Amino acid sequence: MSKRDSNTDPFNAGEPTLPWQDPDSEAYDVADEPHEESRRDAGEAKGPWDADESGTTSRGESGSERTKGRARKRSTAAQERETSRRDRVQQARGTSAGRTAGRIFKVFLGIWLLSLLLSIGGGIVSCVAGAFAPSTPEDPYDVPAYDIPAFEEDENSPEAQSLELASTRLEHLMLPGSPEHDAEAGRIAAAFAQRVETDFGRTPDELGTDPSIVAEWVISSLVYEESSTNAFPEAEDPHASVYFDIESCSMMTMYFEFQSNLYDYLRDQELYLLDIKQGKELDDAQKTDIAGILQAAMVETGSRESTMCVRLTLQDGTWRVDEDDFERYCDYAFGMPA
In the sheet where 223-232 sits, what is the strand order?
Answer: 223-232, 239-248, 304-315, 318-321
The confidence score (pLDDT) of residue 244 equals: 98
The residue ranking higher by pLDDT, 338 or 220, is 220
What pTM, to 2 d.p., does this model score? 0.55
The confidence score (pLDDT) of residue 139 equals: 42
Q: Where is average pLDDT lowest: 17-26, 183-192, 201-210?
A: 17-26
Residue 148 pLDDT exceeds 50 = no
Q: Where is average pLDDT lowest: 21-35, 148-162, 164-178?
A: 21-35
Average pLDDT over residues 7-27: 55
The confidence score (pLDDT) of residue 33 equals: 47
Sign of the dihedral through C-alpha 220, 221, 227, 231: negative
Q: Which of 256, 333, 236 is nearest to 300 (CA)?
A: 256
The residue ranking higher by pLDDT, 96 or 56, is 96
Average pLDDT over residues 206-233: 96
Q: How far is CA 246 from CA 86, 94, 176, in A?
A: 84, 73, 19
